[in-house]
Amino acid sequence: MKLHALTAHALLDLYRSGKASPKEAYEDVLERIKAVEPKVKAYVHLAQNQPEFKGEFQIPIGLKDNLCTKGEEITCSSKILKGFHSPYDAGVVEKIKKSGGSILGIMNMDEFAFGSSFESSCYGPTFNPWNLACVPGGSSGGSAASVAADEAVWALGSDTGGSIRQPASFCGIVGLKPTYGRVSRYGLIAFASSLDQIGPLTKDVRDCALLMNIIAGYDKRDSTSVNTPVPDHTKALVNDVRGLKIGIPKEAFAEGLDSEVRQAVEKSVELLKTLGAVVKEVSLPHTPYAVATYYIVATAEASSNLARFDGVRYGLRATPKSVRKNALVDMYEETRSLGFGDEAKRRIMLGTYALSSGYYDAYYLRGQKVRTLIKNDLDVVFKDCDVILTPTSPTVAFKVGEKVSDPLSMYLSDIYTIPANLAGIPAISIPCGFSKNGLPIGLQLMGKAFDEEMLLRMAYTYEQNTEWHLKKPTLD
């Protein structure tokens, strides 16, 4: 039996009935990795230690390269952290280990999660299992590609502006960005602290609910973690959307949206209507400003967070060949210049610019104010809607190398995913079709803060009435 091709809940059923053991599942996934990893390149490295094989959820899992895992080299796929072996576990990694999770390895990502085209990892690109000439999306591209290619049963990623949902969409799987504060960020190497959130990438919606049950919850070591009760997310898996209200923002279907993506999403709306959901057009007038707002707020926070990588304590330290300024400043500059790739440098400089004296009011402060306007738009719509539905990405996966010379066009591909991060609300991407060329298309549902259950319910209902999530890429 191809255990690697199964969902986590199917594996758990087999464990319970004694038809397969967690060790068999783990070893089968390792075999699968051996077979397809040379093509997909989703992993940075495999885990140092074998799992202990005890616990309730012994599911083979991949972890993004920004989640601190004790003893593992964790680098954010950046040269500047080469050699950093984490001395501790992130909050979510502790929870995964406690639940019995079999950690397979560390997944490739865009350097410091900067990107959606997957071209900035110091380890080179990961490839889309559906078409190896295409990107898997980013920044959790390794996590998404590994799940789509059955190289991991499920995986964890992080999402700052769409970094779970966009690669989930490009790879034809399910990806959830939880409400800000729902999952502990302790041990997540920070990109933009007010936007980052860890979340699941899974083969179906039931697995998404199961993994949420494992990772969600208050952690006093993350002062932005929110202390509210965590529901049993699997209780939300009800095949019924009758009477639920879906808001469709008219701004989401403006120019720039690929016609195949539009068609697939519109068909999905029709299906949800047939199933009894109430659909109404709504307006989010400030969302066209979301990308601009995000690239000020996120880069400002990133420039501050990444100031800690200076060659003093851990990671890379470069030795300057000649004296430019003085020994210490030269060391900082040389280390950061060698250690960071161009996209990281660009974002650090952009953020520094937005925060610098004379520009702070015009950029950073204004960005924060527009963030309020975007959040208010969403609040107004949620007074009368249970979810907001949009495409996850305006296009399907693009060719490797297509966006590298044009960062702005890459930034614009995050137009649908960014608002949820700015407002701190949960959002899920689920498969909703394929392009003529056989590339997956994703549908995004956004919900009210701490109402992941509503998203899971609607996503589950959609999934139960379609078969997109059952399709697999051919890699053999």
Partner 1 sequence: MSISKEDVKYVALLARIHVPEEKLEGFTKTLGDIVHYVEQLQKLDVENVKPTSHAVPLGNVLRADIIKPSLTHQQALSVAIESKDGCFKVPLVIE
Name the residues that contact partner 1, by CB under 8 A.
84-88, 179-181, 194, 220, 223-224, 226, 286, 289, 291-293, 295-296, 303, 307, 310-317, 324, 327-329, 331-334, 336-337, 340, 342, 345-346, 348-350, 352-353, 356, 362-363, 365-373, 375, 407-408, 411, 422-425, 449
Half-sphere exposure of 228 toward its Cβ, with a 13 Å CA cutoff?
Answer: 12
Please say which residue, 340 or 460, places its beta carbon nearer to partner 1: 340
Q: 321 vs 436, which CB is nearer to partner 1?
A: 321
Q: Which of 77, 143, 146, 163 is catalytic?
A: 163
Shortest distance in whole angstroms from residue 289 CB to partner 1: 6
Q: Which of 139, 140, 169, 184 is catalytic?
A: 139
- Indicate the helix (H) or strand (E) that contains 169: helix 165-171
Closest CA to 199 of 4, 465, 466, 417: 417
Nearer to partner 1 by C-beta: 138 or 341?
Answer: 341
Nearer to partner 1, 19 or 220 (CB): 220
CA distance 108 to 122: 9
Burial (Cβ within 10 Å: 0-12, 13-18, ≥19) of residue 246: buried
Nearer to partner 1, 252 or 449 (CB): 449
Q: How far is the CB of 83 from partner 1 (least distance, A)?
A: 8
Residue closer to partner 1, measured from CB, 28 or 310: 310
Q: Give the residues across from 286 on adjacent strands.
A: none
Q: How far apart are alpha carbons 421 and 413 in whole angstroms?
A: 15
Distance, CA of 331 to CA of 310 (rounded, Å)? 8
Q: How far is the CB of 205 from partner 1 (least distance, A)?
A: 25
- Angle formed by the axes of helices 205-215 and 91-99, to 10°? 110
154-159 vs 197-202, strand pairing mode: antiparallel
What are the tokens at 62?
A: 């991949």
Closer by beta carbon to partner 1, 12 or else 290: 290
Beta strands in 127-255 (DSSP E): 154-159, 174-177, 197-202, 245-249
163 labelled catalytic = yes
Q: CB neighbours (10 Å) of residue 229? A: 7
Q: Tell the smallest beta-carbon distance from residue 411 to partner 1 (Å).
A: 7
Residue 228 C-beta: closest distance to partner 1, Å: 10
Phi and psi at residue 433, to the nearest 5°: 150, 180
Residue closer to partner 1, measured from CB, 45 or 317: 317
Spatial strand order of the sheet with 440-447 comes to 43-46, 102-107, 60-64, 154-159, 197-202, 174-177, 427-434, 440-447, 387-391, 245-249, 278-282
For 52, 74, 157, 284, the CA distances from 34, given in Å and listed in that order, are 21, 22, 22, 47
The pair of structure tokens assigned to 328 is 């210490």
The nearest distance, CB 457 to partner 1, in angstroms, is: 23
Could you tell me the smallest distance in angstroms from the CB atom of residue 223 to partner 1? 4
The position carrying tokens 């502790």 is 94
Query: Which amino acid type is present at position 354?
Result: A
Give CA–CA dist 58/274, Å, rounded: 38
Residues with active-site annotation? 64, 139, 163
